[in-house]
Amino acid sequence: MATIIKRKTKYAVVYNHIDEHGTKRQKWETWNTHKEALKRKAQIENDLFDGTFVAPNDQTVADFLFDFVSLYGEQHWGVSTYDSNVGLIGNYINPAIGKMLVQDITPKVIDIFYKKLKKTKSVTPHGRKPQKEYVTDVNIERIHKLLKCAFKQAVRWEMIKKNPFELVTMKKTKYTPRDIWTAENIRKALEACEDSKLYVAMNLAFACSLREGEILGLTWDNVYISDDDIAADDASIYVDKELTRCSKRAIEVLDKKEIIKIFTPLKPNTSTRLVLKKPKTDSSTRKVWLPKTVAYILRKWKDAQEELKGFLGDEYEDYNLVVALTNGRPCEGRILLKSFKELREKAGLPNVVFHSLRHSSTTYKLKLNHGDLKATQGDTGHAEIDMITKVYAHILDDDRKINAQKFEAAFYSQPDLKDAKPSEEGKPGIDLNSLIEQLQQSPELAATLAQLIQTGDSGG
């Protein structure tokens, strides 16, 4: 068990334990008073008896997270998640608490950390300008989710007894109605659009609720727009990949997991690569039916592409991409977004981002199908239906208001319920004193009123 040894003015608690490598070691812990040493001795002996003892560990958060990424992240994350989580660790976690010991992280330390994050400048890759000046609540929620998962592994690895992040109450992120274009806005934008690839991309975003990466990763072998398909109202696309840019390190470390194709870079010395990869979730792999007009737009676009291939010959790099550059190479999101911004400004339309077309699509479909969540989720590819109910609650509330009106017409308008009348309370009554005073001041009004009363009596 444990022993207390006096060392000058302090007290040492001495005990044997098995370290993480299975080696038996002796540990000395120094305390200022005999009372503190007795308390620690009792705790050690109780934990050893229960089999819950965790030996003191001097590993820092930064070193632990390095092990966590190597042992857990590389097994469970895809390339996009890997890059995102490594970025959160490097940009926000390690600078703030990386030098602290894992065993010194408490719920109070976490609360202080999150408070500090709210005043921390946002960091974006490749020197891009951040959308928000400071770390957003959404990113703090992502950091919390990452650290909660990491410290769960620390418990499993017997570095700590309890996960402090499970004891922290996070403020729920409020989803406010997004700024989107109306159907009229989108129609106006399409009429003003002169960039053919942007025109196709906008139609796919709005009609099919596709994400930007899904549009740019769509290939012609997943587009079904034959005469028979269109005649049978079965024109459709199949979403099973997306275009994204990720780090070479993520590709190498994860051994090309999820990667379908790596495009040869124009500049070989860059640290990132453009890739086609599997979608972010299983629910993102889906079939989406096309409106006939969109099917014909795609057919016309494909004919134009084929004509361009014939003209360029070997100079055309054919990757079978639906939305591609003039030479066939993949169209990066930044190119599409730049073209979209120019269109928005030229047409004098509200300031929204390209991704908002997907939200316009979801909103429009919820209105058309009167809040059919499952049908809408099938098109959007959201992993959880809760995402739709949270983000688009205002649309669903409109339909619930209509439900009340329908309920009134179908049930409460029946004859046997007609006695239910609006309350008479609050309606203005007749002020007799005021009326008498007016009649006294106006003989003509009094005479007219008397004549009316006499006429009414004689006619009764």
Query: What would the pLDDT profile of 145-197 be if each residue is shown by its tens digit?
Result: 999 999 999 999 888 889 999 999 887 766 666 677 888 898 999 999 999 99
Strand-pair partners of 7: 10
- Phi, psi (degrees; rounded to nearest 5) at 299: -65, -40
How many other C-beta atoms lie within 10 A of the C-beta of residue 192? 13
For residue 222, pLDDT beyond 70: yes
User: 170-174, 186-190, 305-309, 319-323 — which is least confidently predicted?
Assistant: 170-174
Tokens 């004919």: give the residue.
Answer: 303
Rounded CA-CA distance 66/80 in Å is 18
Position with higher pLDDT, 168 vs 284: 168
What is residue 388's predicted lDDT score, i.e. its pLDDT? 47
For residue 389, pLDDT beyond 60: no
What is residue 431's predicted lDDT score, i.e. its pLDDT? 55
Position with higher pLDDT, 146 vs 256: 146
User: 187-201, 359-373, 434-448 — which is least confidently predicted?
Assistant: 434-448
Written as six digits, the tokens of 21 are 């490598």
The phi-psi region of residue 342 (left if phi > 0; otherwise alpha if psi is between -120 and 50; otherwise beta) is alpha
Mean pLDDT of 260-286: 88
For residue 373, pLDDT beyond 80: no
Q: Which residues of 180-191 are buried (b: 16+ CB within 10 A; e: fewer)?
A: bbeeebbeebbe
**What percent of the chain stands above pLDDT 70?**
76
Which amino acid belongs to residue 443?
P
For residue 402, pLDDT beyond 80: no
User: 144-148, 215-219, 266-270, 358-362 — which is least confidently predicted?
Assistant: 358-362
Position with higher pLDDT, 387 vs 298: 298
Longest CA–CA span in the chain (Å) reads: 121
- Contact between 274 and 245 under an 8 Å Cβ cutoff? The reply is yes
Rounded CA-CA distance 302/197 in Å is 11
For residue 390, pLDDT beyond 70: no
Angle 145-150-156 (CA atoms, 0-180°, nearest 5)?
Answer: 130
User: 273-282, 304-313, 402-411 — which is least confidently predicted?
Assistant: 402-411
What is residue 342's predicted lDDT score, i.e. its pLDDT? 95
Written as six digits, the tokens of 80 are 């996009």
Band of residue 57 on the pLDDT scale cut at 50, 70, 90? confident
Rounded CA-CA distance 354/197 in Å is 14
- Contact between 243 and 216 under an 8 Å Cβ cutoff? The reply is yes
Of the chain, the end-to-end C-alpha distance in Å amounts to: 111
Rounded CA-CA distance 437/112 in Å is 73
For the chain, what is the mean pLDDT? 82
How many other C-beta atoms lie within 10 A of the C-beta of residue 162? 13
For residue 422, pLDDT beyond 80: no
For residue 5, pLDDT beyond 70: yes
What is residue 396's predicted lDDT score, i.e. its pLDDT? 47
What is residue 426's predicted lDDT score, i.e. its pLDDT? 46
What is residue 150's predicted lDDT score, i.e. its pLDDT? 97
Q: What DSSP designation does 316 have? A: S
Tokens 């993102």: give the residue.
Answer: 284
Q: At what angle do helices 137-156 and 107-117 cross, to 10 degrees?
A: 150
Which amino acid belongs to residue 19?
D
Q: Which residues of 250-281 are buried (b: 16+ CB within 10 A; e: fewer)?
A: bbebbeebbbeeebeeeeeeeebbbbbbbbbe
For residue 442, pLDDT beyond 50: yes
What is residue 190's predicted lDDT score, i.e. its pLDDT? 92
Q: The whole model's pTM is what?
A: 0.70
| Alpha-carbon dihedral sign for residues 40, 45, 49, 55 | positive
Rounded CA-CA distance 217/244 in Å is 8
What is residue 257's predicted lDDT score, i.e. its pLDDT? 83
Rounded CA-CA distance 143/309 in Å is 46
User: 50-64, 109-123, 406-420 — which is least confidently predicted?
Assistant: 406-420
Rounded CA-CA distance 276/241 in Å is 6
- Contact between 284 and 238 under an 8 Å Cβ cutoff? The reply is no
What is residue 392's predicted lDDT score, i.e. its pLDDT? 52
User: 168-182, 205-219, 261-275, 391-405 — which is least confidently predicted?
Assistant: 391-405
How many other C-beta atoms lie within 10 A of the C-beta of residue 154? 27
Contacts with 391 (C-beta within 8 Å, 6 or more apart), sequence order: 175, 178, 359, 362
Rounded CA-CA distance 43/49 in Å is 10
Q: Which residues of 10-22 are buried (b: 16+ CB within 10 A; e: fewer)?
A: ebebebebeeeee
Helix (H) or strand (E) holding 145: helix 137-156
